[in-house]
């Protein structure tokens, strides 16, 4: 985990890694890594968010959480705490 | 459960004469699998009408719906599996669905896919095909897909997957006849499928090659040994204990009436 | 035996082999498997799916952009809710009156029949004023709103709006330490709390499932909607009747949702401690509802089912109420004795003893609370034709001294008190625990008493009543 973080800092200069949580609506990103572990990670992956897949952030819910994304041709809503585990580029 | 048994007894009586004459099976168990929101229950309702009843899966608070449907002198007993996105994550629904497919071995399994987002739906279809070859793919909601400008080449999909593929628009009642005839082919064995096999990375395939023969020695041709090998390699405790139970009791896990015997 | 032990041995060998090959890579392996399957799905999809032409206008997206927009999402949700209530109140008014007229004409004919047969007074009382009138009330008050409310609700369900409600409200449930799907089970509760409790199965974590089950009662089920609508009608007799009643009912519902969140928060901080688990929800495309089928389905599956249940409970309840109101001990009926005994407590909560008695007798089904109350008022008071909200107002306000506070507290108590017998039984079955079932009744009862007490006290202190 630490090494990954280190790598991504090196690649992107002084910027910290970007996760799906920080991605602005209207932007398409590619998933590079899914953090976390156990059942949460499994659940996220089984909904189609796997490494290398393109995710389009459609909108944020009226109260600021969750976010709605388009992935593999369908609309998925996920909480920001889960979106934070998904590293993107 | 009692209801189910009674139902089957009645059916047995009805078909006794037919069986005596040519000793041919006329009643088949058909499982219905699919993602949520794919119109799976629309298909289930359309096929079974009012001949259905509900209960719980043994030991689980998961709804179990069953119904029957007559087609060309045969009786299809449909078991509506819980709607799931996958069979790998051990939620109660997913366990019910995959245990049923692996251990109760229905005569045919219909996988209902949503034509408007085939990709995510194929994830489940490929997992079902890993367990059973006796499958029919039903691409539902083709009318809606067409409206969105999406076209699916079902012939090519059938070629890829190695099983029959039937396009339907269940809400309009389109394609259900073709679906029934495809089910008949697979259930009676007049159509033999050669389903698509997912090939994993070399490390995993090597491990499967080592483990699978041992499992086949243990369970014979009773269950799908490649699928079991994969689950064993994942240390999937629910599958391992199900097999363990089977070896200890040596009672076939399949009950005639299609009930789940894992309880 | 030998055979069996040899197979167990084989299994042990396999496990050893597995352990040797993949000792500790379970999760890595699973990731790789999931990714590979999705990869293949992607490849096959590319091969067989072609996007011919984009539709000129994507109605799905347009609709969704309004219904879940940051600014319009919540107002639209409230507007839709208010619209459903308004349609229900307006539409139910006329058929309700017609039904009541017909059914009470029937009561008069039955009375005539009793007179013609020379039946004793108690026979006429027990069957006509007890059983028949209670059933007639349930049918005329409940059938029209249900026959309108359920199809409206089923239409929204069929359209695919409910997951959007979950999307809009998830933030609140997350803050309350609950699962996002609780907003779905809560919405189910609008139909029937027992159904809402069963729907809690979709919540995986036992902690969050229990929270959802224990708080489902705080949204009014169809058994309580007619009560709320009728009482709201009493509050706003006059010109803007439908609109006013709809707004009041909606206010009550929003209050119920607020209580749901507050109690969920309290539970997850005390009895059911824990952090919210992950939550992903598919937002399926909107689908054009099949209006005809929706109406048929909602009338058969829901309206008639609920009505049938209500009638089955109403008949014996009517009989019991009539007996309690007509068996005298001293110079007062048993019902009046009980009501008198409960009266101080009822007054403390802004109501009276008869109202509390009706809630107690109404435990089997919420639908019959109002009919029981009317019956007990009528049995001890003068006979009036009960054929409209106006008649109801006369009975409650003029003859039994209700104030706006009485109406409000009765509505709030009805919203909060305890789940009906069927729901409690369902909670017992689903949770498998007597303790949680007891709490499922006691927590709402505590909340209901506290809320009514505070409101009554405040209103009286402020001199509003």
Distance from CA of C46 to the nearest CA of A (A): 11
Per-residue pLDDT at A2 exceeds 70:
no
Q: Is residue C57 part of a domain?
A: no
Instruction: Give the C-alpha distances (Å, rounded to integers) separating B9 from A23, B74, B107.
Output: 60, 15, 19
Distance from CA of C426 to the nearest CA of B (A): 12
CA dist C166 and C161 (Å) reads: 9
Question: In chain C, what percentage of residues exceed pLDDT 70?
Answer: 94
pLDDT of residue C340: 92
A77–C170 C-beta distance less than 8 A: yes
Q: How many other C-beta atoms lie within 10 A of the C-beta of residue C310? A: 27
Distance from CA of C71 to the nearest CA of A (A): 6
B-proximal residues of C, 16-45, CB under 8 Å: 17-18, 21-22, 26, 29-30, 32-34, 36-38, 40-42, 44-45
Instruction: List CB contacts (< 8 A) between C36 and chain B.
Output: 198-201
Sheet of B165-167: strands edge to edge?
B52-56, B63-71, B74-80, B27-34, B108-114, B135-140, B165-167
Based on the fold, state whether residues C43 and C71 are members of the same structural domain.
no
Based on the fold, state whether residues C443 and C320 are members of the same structural domain.
yes
CA dist C188 and C193 (Å) reads: 7
For chain A, what are the domain ranges? 18-88
Mean pLDDT within B83-95: 87
CA dist C465 and C444 (Å) reads: 26
pLDDT of residue B258: 45
The listed range with the strongest mean pLDDT (B132-146, B240-254, C136-150, C213-227) is B132-146
* pLDDT (tens digit per residue) in C369-425: 888 888 788 765 444 455 567 778 888 888 888 999 999 999 999 999 999 888 898
Distance from CA of A41 to the nearest CA of B (A): 10
Mean pLDDT within B69-79: 94
Mean pLDDT within B84-92: 86
pLDDT of residue C449: 96
Mean pLDDT within C334-355: 93
- With vertex at residue C326, the alpha carbon angle to CA C320 and CA C327, rounded to the nearest 5 degrees, is 90
* pLDDT (tens digit per residue) in B99-154: 999 989 999 999 999 999 999 999 999 999 999 999 999 999 999 899 888 999 99
Instruction: List CB contacts (< 8 A) between B200 and chain C.
Output: 32-33, 36
A45–C35 C-beta distance less than 8 A: yes
Fold of A18-88: SH3 type barrels. (2.30.30)
Instruction: List CB contacts (< 8 A) between A66 and chain C.
Output: 167, 170-171, 180, 279, 281
pLDDT of residue C386: 56
Based on the fold, state whether residues C263 and C355 are members of the same structural domain.
yes
Instruction: Give the C-alpha distances (Å, rounded to integers) separating C230 from C219, C396, C408.
Output: 17, 12, 12
B-proximal residues of C, 185-244, CB under 8 Å: 201, 204
Is B171 at the interface with chain C, CB within 8 A?
yes
C13–B235 C-beta distance less than 8 A: no
Of the residues C26, C27, C33, C38, the best mutation for testing chain A's interface (the one with the most A CB atoms within 10 Å of its CB) is C38
How many residue pairs from chains A and B have C-beta atoms closer than 8 A? 26
Domain with C263 in it: 66-461
Instruction: State which residue of chain A sits closest to B89, comparing Cα positions.
Output: A42
Nearest to A48 among B88, B90, B120 (CB): B120
C281–A63 C-beta distance less than 8 A: no
A37–C30 C-beta distance less than 8 A: no
The set of residues, in sequence order, having a beta carbon less than 8 Å from that of C371 and lying 6+ positions away, is C133, C134, C137, C138, C141, C314, C317, C318
Distance from CA of B7 to the nearest CA of C (A): 24
Lowest mean pLDDT among B11-20, B187-196, C200-209, C241-250: B11-20
CA-nearest of B171, B44, B26, B61 to C429 is: B61
Instruction: Please report where in the chains the tokens 């209006």 appear, as a residue.
Output: C291
Instruction: List CB contacts (< 8 A) between B116 and chain A.
Output: 73-74
What are the tokens at C307? 């009505």
Based on the fold, state whether residues C197 and C321 are members of the same structural domain.
yes
Q: Counting beta carbons within 10 angstroms of the beta carbon of residue B261, is it exposed (0 to 12), middle (13 to 18) or buried (19 or more)?
A: middle
Q: Counting beta carbons within 10 angstroms of the beta carbon of residue B50, is it exposed (0 to 12), middle (13 to 18) or buried (19 or more)?
A: exposed
Per-residue pLDDT at C263 exceeds 50:
yes
Instruction: List CB contacts (< 8 A) between A41 and chain C.
Output: 27, 31
Distance from CA of B193 to the nearest CA of C (A): 18
Q: How many other C-beta atoms lie within 10 A of the C-beta of residue B34? A: 29
Q: How confident is the model at residue C16 (pLDDT cuts 50, 70, 90)?
A: confident
Q: Is residue C59 part of a domain?
A: no
Of the residues B87, B120, B141, the best mutation for testing chain A's interface (the one with the most A CB atoms within 10 Å of its CB) is B120
Q: Counting beta carbons within 10 angstroms of the beta carbon of residue C262, is it exposed (0 to 12), middle (13 to 18) or buried (19 or more)?
A: middle
pLDDT of residue B7: 44
Mean pLDDT within C307-322: 82
* pLDDT (tens digit per residue) in C177-192: 898 889 888 988 887 7
Based on the fold, state whether residues C327 and C400 are members of the same structural domain.
yes
Is B120 at the interface with chain C, CB within 8 A?
yes
The set of residues, in sequence order, having a beta carbon less than 8 Å from that of C158 and lying 6+ positions away, is C287, C289, C290, C294
Based on the fold, state whether residues C15 and C139 are members of the same structural domain.
no
B118–A46 C-beta distance less than 8 A: no
Per-residue pLDDT at C3 exceeds 60:
no
CA dist A70 and A50 (Å) reads: 13
- With vertex at residue C178, the alpha carbon angle to CA C174 and CA C180, rounded to the nearest 5 degrees, is 65
B89–A43 C-beta distance less than 8 A: yes
Instruction: List CB contacts (< 8 A) between B117 and chain A.
Output: 72-74
Based on the fold, state whether residues C132 and C248 are members of the same structural domain.
yes
pLDDT of residue B250: 64
CA-nearest of B184, B192, B84 to B133 is: B192
Mean of the per-residue pLDDT values for chain A?
83
Per-residue pLDDT at C303 exceeds 80:
no
Angle, helix C369-380 to helix C353-361, in steps of 10 degrees:
130
pLDDT of residue A13: 45
CA-nearest of C167, C267, C171, C143 to C216 is: C267
Nearest to B116 among C11, C50, C285 (CB): C285
B-proximal residues of A, 25-64, CB under 8 Å: 39, 42-43, 46-48
Q: How confident is the model at residue C55 (pLDDT cuts 50, 70, 90)?
A: low
C48–B148 C-beta distance less than 8 A: no
Based on the fold, state whether residues C44 and C81 are members of the same structural domain.
no
* pLDDT (tens digit per residue) in B30-39: 999 999 889 8
CA dist C341 and C355 (Å) reads: 12
Is B175 in contact with B167 (CB distance < 8 Å)? yes
Instruction: Give the C-alpha distances (Å, rounded to integers) separating C35 from B63, C29, C397.
Output: 30, 10, 68
**Alpha helix locations (H) across B23-67?**
40-48
Q: Which helix (H) or strand (E) holds C97?
A: helix C73-117
Based on the fold, state whether residues C265 and C384 are members of the same structural domain.
yes
Strand partners, C49: B152
Mean pLDDT within B161-166: 96
Identify the three-state secondary structure at position B263: coil
Per-residue pLDDT at A10 exceeds 50:
no
Per-residue pLDDT at C151 exceeds 90:
no
**Alpha helix locations (H) across C270-333?**
291-297, 305-326
pLDDT of residue B174: 94
Mean pLDDT within B205-233: 88
Is C133 in contact with C143 (CB distance < 8 Å)? no
Mean of the per-residue pLDDT values for chain C?
85
**Positive or negative CA dihedral for C222, C227, C229, C232?**
negative
The set of residues, in sequence order, having a beta carbon less than 8 Å from that of C237 and lying 6+ positions away, is C389, C390, C393
CA dist C165 and C183 (Å) reads: 7
Strand partners, B77: B29, B68
Fold of B2-188: Rossmann fold (3.40.50)
Is C341 in contact with C287 (CB distance < 8 Å)? no
Q: How confident is the model at residue C149 (pLDDT cuts 50, 70, 90)?
A: confident
Instruction: List CB contacts (< 8 A) between C430 and chain B.
Output: 61
pLDDT of residue C69: 87
Mean pLDDT within C148-176: 87
Per-residue pLDDT at A15 exceeds 60:
no
Instruction: Give the C-alpha distances (Å, rounded to integers) separating C244 from C86, C96, C219.
Output: 9, 18, 20
Q: Is residue C60 part of a domain?
A: no
CA dist C326 and C379 (Å) reads: 8
Instruction: List CB contacts (< 8 A) between B37 and chain C.
Output: 282, 284
Q: Which helix (H) or strand (E) holds C7?
A: helix C2-21
CA dist B78 and B176 (Å) reads: 14
CA dist C38 and C35 (Å) reads: 5
B36–C32 C-beta distance less than 8 A: no
* DSSP per position, A29-75: EEEEEE-S-HHHHHHHHHTT--TT-EEEEEEE-TTS--EEEEETTEE
Instruction: State which residue of chain C sits closest to B146, comparing Cα positions.
Output: C52
Per-residue pLDDT at A69 exceeds 90:
yes
CA-nearest of B88, B170, B95, B87 to B135 is: B87
pLDDT of residue B13: 45
Residue B145, preceding peptide bond in cis (omega within 30° of 0)? no
C168–A65 C-beta distance less than 8 A: no
Distance from CA of C239 to the nearest CA of B (A): 44
Task: Provide φ and ψ at B193, rounded to 5°.
Answer: -85, 155
Higher-confidence residue: C9 or C127? Answer: C127
Q: Is residue C55 part of a domain?
A: no
B92–C21 C-beta distance less than 8 A: no
Distance from CA of A5 to the nearest CA of C (A): 19
CA dist C281 and A66 (Å) reads: 10
Higher-confidence residue: B32 or B57? Answer: B32
Instruction: Please report where in the chains the tokens 């939620």 appear, as a residue.
Output: B91
Per-residue pLDDT at B254 exceeds 60:
no
Is B126 in contact with B100 (CB distance < 8 Å)? no
Per-residue pLDDT at B251 exceeds 70:
no
A62–C74 C-beta distance less than 8 A: yes
* pLDDT (tens digit per residue) in A27-43: 999 999 998 877 788 88
Instruction: List CB contacts (< 8 A) between A39 and chain B.
Output: 89-90
pLDDT of residue A61: 92
Is C298 in contact with C222 (CB distance < 8 Å)? no
Is C262 at the interface with chain A, CB within 8 A?
no
B247–C52 C-beta distance less than 8 A: no
Is B62 in contact with B8 (CB distance < 8 Å)? no
Of the residues A34, A73, A77, A78, the best mutation for testing chain B's interface (the one with the most B CB atoms within 10 Å of its CB) is A73
pLDDT of residue B16: 46
Q: Is residue C126 part of a domain?
A: yes
Is C285 at the interface with chain B, CB within 8 A?
yes
Lowest mean pLDDT among B162-171, C216-225, C349-358: C216-225
Instruction: State which residue of chain A sits closest to C275, comparing Cα positions.
Output: A81
Q: Start-end ranges of CATH 3.40.50.300 in chain B?
A: 2-188
Instruction: List CB contacts (< 8 A) between A61 and chain C.
Output: 68, 70, 73, 167-168, 170-171
């Amino acid at each position: 985990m630490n090494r990954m973080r280190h790598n991504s800092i090196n690649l992107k200069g002084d910027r910290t890694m970007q996760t799906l949580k920080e991605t602005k609506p209207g932007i398409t990103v590619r998933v590079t890594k899914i953090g976390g572990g156990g059942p949460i990670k499994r659940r996220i992956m089984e909904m189609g968010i796997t490494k290398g897949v393109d995710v389009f952030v459609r909108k944020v819910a009226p109260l600021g959480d969750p976010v709605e994304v388009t992935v593999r041709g369908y609309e998925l809503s996920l909480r920001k705490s889960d979106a934070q585990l998904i590293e993107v580029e | 459960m009692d209801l189910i048994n009674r139902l089957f007894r009645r059916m047995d009586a009805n078909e006794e004469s037919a069986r005596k004459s040519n000793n041919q099976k006329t009643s088949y168990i058909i499982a219905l699998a699919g993602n949520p929101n794919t119109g799976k229950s629309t298909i289930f309702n359309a096929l079974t009408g009012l001949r259905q009843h509900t209960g719980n899966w043994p030991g689980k608070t998961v709804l179990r719906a069953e119904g029957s449907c007559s087609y060309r002198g045969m009786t299809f007993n449909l078991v509506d599996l819980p709607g799931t996105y996958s069979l790998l994550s051990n939620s109660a629904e997913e366990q019910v669905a995959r245990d049923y497919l692996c251990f109760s071995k229905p005569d045919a399994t219909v996988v209902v896919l949503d034509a408007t987002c085939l990709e995510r739906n194929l994830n489940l279809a490929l997992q079902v095909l890993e367990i059973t070859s006796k499958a029919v793919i039903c691409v539902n909601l083709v009318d809606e897909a067409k409206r969105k400008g999406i076209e699916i080449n079902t012939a090519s999909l059938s070629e890829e997957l190695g099983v029959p593929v039937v396009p339907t628009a269940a809400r309009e009642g389109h394609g259900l006849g073709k679906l029934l005839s495809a089910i008949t082919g697979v259930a009676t064995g007049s159509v033999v499928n050669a389903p698509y096999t997912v090939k994993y990375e070399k490390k995993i395939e090597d491990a499967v090659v080592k483990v699978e023969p041992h499992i086949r020695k243990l369970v014979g041709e009773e269950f799908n040994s490649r699928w079991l090998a994969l689950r064993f390699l994942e240390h999937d405790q629910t599958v391992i204990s199900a097999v363990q139970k089977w070896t200890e009791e040596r009672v076939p896990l399949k009950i005639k009436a299609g009930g789940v015997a894992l309880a | 035996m030998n055979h069996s032990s040899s197979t167990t041995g084989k299994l042990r060998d396999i496990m050893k082999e597995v352990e040797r090959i993949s000792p500790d890579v379970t999760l890595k392996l699973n990731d790789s498997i999931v990714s590979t399957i999705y990869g293949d799905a992607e490849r096959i999809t590319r091969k067989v799916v072609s996007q011919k032409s984009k539709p000129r206008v994507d109605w799905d997206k347009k609709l969704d952009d309004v219904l879940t927009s940051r600014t319009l999402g919540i107002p639209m949700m409230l507007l839709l809710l208010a619209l459903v209530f308004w349609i229900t109140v307006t539409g139910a008014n006329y058929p309700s009156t017609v039904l009541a007229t017909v059914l009470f004409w029937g009561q008069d004919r039955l009375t005539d029949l009793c007179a013609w047969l020379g039946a004793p007074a108690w026979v006429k009382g027990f069957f006509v004023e007890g059983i028949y009138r209670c059933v007639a009330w349930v049918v005329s008050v409940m059938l029209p709103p249900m026959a309108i409310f359920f199809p409206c609700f089923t239409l929204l369900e069929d359209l695919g709006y409910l997951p959007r409600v979950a999307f809009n409200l998830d933030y609140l449930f997350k803050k309350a330490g609950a699962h996002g799907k609780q907003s779905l089970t809560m919405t189910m509760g609008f139909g029937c709390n027992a159904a809402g409790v069963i729907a809690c199965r979709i919540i995986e974590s036992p902690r969050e499932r229990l929270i959802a089950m224990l708080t489902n009662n705080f949204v009014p089920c169809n058994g309580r909607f007619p009560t709320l609508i009728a009482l709201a009608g009493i509050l706003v007799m006059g010109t803007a009747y439908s609109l006013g009643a709809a707004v009041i009912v909606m206010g009550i519902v929003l209050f119920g949702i607020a209580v749901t969140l507050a109690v969920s928060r309290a539970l997850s901080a005390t009895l059911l401690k824990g952090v919210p688990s992950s939550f992903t929800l598919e937002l399926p495309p909107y689908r054009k509802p099949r209006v005809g089928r929706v109406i048929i389905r909602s009338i058969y599956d829901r309206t008639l089912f609920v009505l049938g249940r209500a009638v089955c409970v109403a008949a014996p309840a009517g009989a019991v109420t009539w007996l309690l109101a007509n068996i005298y001990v001293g110079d007062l009926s048993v019902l009046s004795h009980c009501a008198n005994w409960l009266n101080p407590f009822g007054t403390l909560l802004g109501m009276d003893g008869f109202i509390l008695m009706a809630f107690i007798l109404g435990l089997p089904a919420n639908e019959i609370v109002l009919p029981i109350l009317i019956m007990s008022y009528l049995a001890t008071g003068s006979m009036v034709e009960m054929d409209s909200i106006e008649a109801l107002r006369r009975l409650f306000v003029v003859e039994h001294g209700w104030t706006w506070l009485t109406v409000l507290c009765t509505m709030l108590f009805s919203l909060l008190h305890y789940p009906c017998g069927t729901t409690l039984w369902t909670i017992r079955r689903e949770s498998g625990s007597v303790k949680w079932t007891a709490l499922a009744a006691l927590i709402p009862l505590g909340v209901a008493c506290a809320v009514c007490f505070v409101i009554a006290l405040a209103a009286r202190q402020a001199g509003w009543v």
